[in-house]
Amino acid sequence: MNDYTVFLTWDDEAQVWYCTSDDIPGLILESDSLDVLVERARYATPELLELMGHDPAKAYLSFKAERHAAVFA
């Protein structure tokens, strides 16, 4: 079983979430919805893993989201 980390980051200028992964080259997606982006990453990953020679049936994804926002006082 292999665990791959996917980073989800909010782009305030573009008003979208985007994802990348150091573990899965080529995984670069965006969406205005965090939930939709997670699902898109789940569906895109198997093909990318196969291209890397890895078995997607033994893969798990760990999602780490980050969004920085100013505090309203």
Q: What is the mean pLDDT of residues 25-34?
A: 97
Give the domain 2-66 fold: TTHA1013/TTHA0281-like (3.30.2390)
> pTM surpassing 0.85?
yes
pLDDT band at 4 (very low <50, low <70, confident <90, very high): very high
* 16-20 and 59-66 strand pairing: unpaired
Phi and psi of 30, rounded to 5°?
A: -145, 155
Collapse the DSSP code of 39 into the 3-class scheme (helix H, G, I; strand E, B; otherwise coil) and give the result: helix
- Rounded to whole angstroms, the Cα distance separating 6 from 60 reads 10
Q: Quick one: pLDDT at residue 11?
A: 96
